[in-house]
A and B are shown apart, each in its own frame.
Chain A
């Protein structure tokens, strides 16, 4: 009977426990307003107070978003280590990715062009159509004439 009750309690409480955020994760995602590093790297008095508030709110099982919203309301959006994925802030997420994609595209194009030129050169060489330097050609003719003679 006890076992059944324990399992039932675990099943009921499990989703609640899962919904509670992790204080350590949050401390890595929020910035100390005085030292401008993430909270987990700071021991400044302001950071200690915010960490304490986070632990208190986590114990109350407030959601990660709720905690972040409360801190943004007090310290402004600069308290977030990463810009929120909304409105104008999307630019901060999109621009680096767009830049990387553009750079990858340019490099791919250049590599493709270089490989094409090299293939064309190799083909021209194998067909014997590569133009010789006139001086070399003249000396080659002289040498061949000597053998023939």
Chain B
């Protein structure tokens, strides 16, 4: 009886270890890589979907609602100094190209809602803004910080490249313009 009990306990312990191991393997295997690394390898992955609260007006907004239009997707936060510096350039691009169908969409991450609204008002951001307080899009897009800017083609795929740091900076400004042209033509 004791032998059988011992055997059962051993089987149970082994099953427990195997179960935990399987859980670990499953977690690692199914962990989605963010979109940014794929874009960095020259792929054109689909822009990860999201549906978030709007900051600039009541209601929700999903990225899918802009399918068929080129989108400049900018991630920002009110506590981010370069975000403030690049806001005028994003606003000017929105005003200049919206007649051609371009959308500049700002995603506010890891931020207080009130701070974000104040920031948008102070910086005269008139393009659509959504709020992602928990920062779920940081994982799906593979962000490393803010600001970061992506370009979504009419097909819903990410194109050109991910621009880290402010798009107004010398190192980014020309590339930003090229990507805007590319996404308009894609």
Q: Which residues of A contact B (CB under 8 A)?
A: 33-34, 45-46, 48-50, 53, 74-76, 78-79
Q: Considering the complex, give the chain B residue whose CB is closest to the CB of A73.
A: B133
Contact with A along B124-147 (1 / 0, CB 8 A): 000000000111000000000000
A74 to B109 Cα, complex, angstroms: 10
In the complex, chain B residues whose CB is within 8 Å of the CB of A76: 133-134
In the complex, chain B residues whose CB is within 8 Å of the CB of A48: 79
Q: Which residues of B contact A (CB under 8 A)?
A: 77-80, 110-113, 115, 133-135
In the complex, chain A residues whose CB is within 8 Å of the CB of B80: 45
Chain A at the B interface: mostly helix, strand, loop or mixed?
A: helix
A80 to B23 Cα, complex, angstroms: 25
**What's the nearest-Cβ distance from chain A to residue B183, in Å?**
28
B113 touches A46 (CB 8 A): no
**What's the nearest-Cβ distance from chain B to residue A77, in Å?**
9
In-complex Cβ contact of A50 among B112, B113, B134, B135 (8 A): B112
In-complex Cβ contact of A75 among B78, B115, B133 (8 A): B133
In the complex, chain B residues whose CB is within 8 Å of the CB of A49: 78-79, 111-112, 115
Q: Considering the complex, give the chain A residue whose CB is closest to the CB of B131.
A: A74
In the complex, chain A residues whose CB is within 8 Å of the CB of B134: 33, 75-76, 78-79
* Contacts A33-B134, A33-B135; A74 near B79 (Cβ below 8 A): no
Q: Considering the complex, give the chain A residue whose CB is closest to the CB of B135.
A: A33
In the complex, chain B residues whose CB is within 8 Å of the CB of A50: 112
Among A33, A48, A78, the one with the most B-chain Cβ atoms within 10 Å of its Cβ is A33
A–B complex contacts, Cβ < 8 Å, 6 sampled: A45-B77, A48-B79, A49-B78, A49-B79, A75-B133, A75-B135
17 new A-B contacts, CB < 8 A, other than A33-B134, A49-B115, A53-B112, are A33-B110, A33-B133, A33-B135, A34-B110, A34-B135, A45-B80, A46-B79, A49-B79, A74-B112, A74-B113, A74-B133, A75-B133, A75-B134, A75-B135, A76-B133, A76-B134, A78-B134
A79 to B110 Cα, complex, angstroms: 10
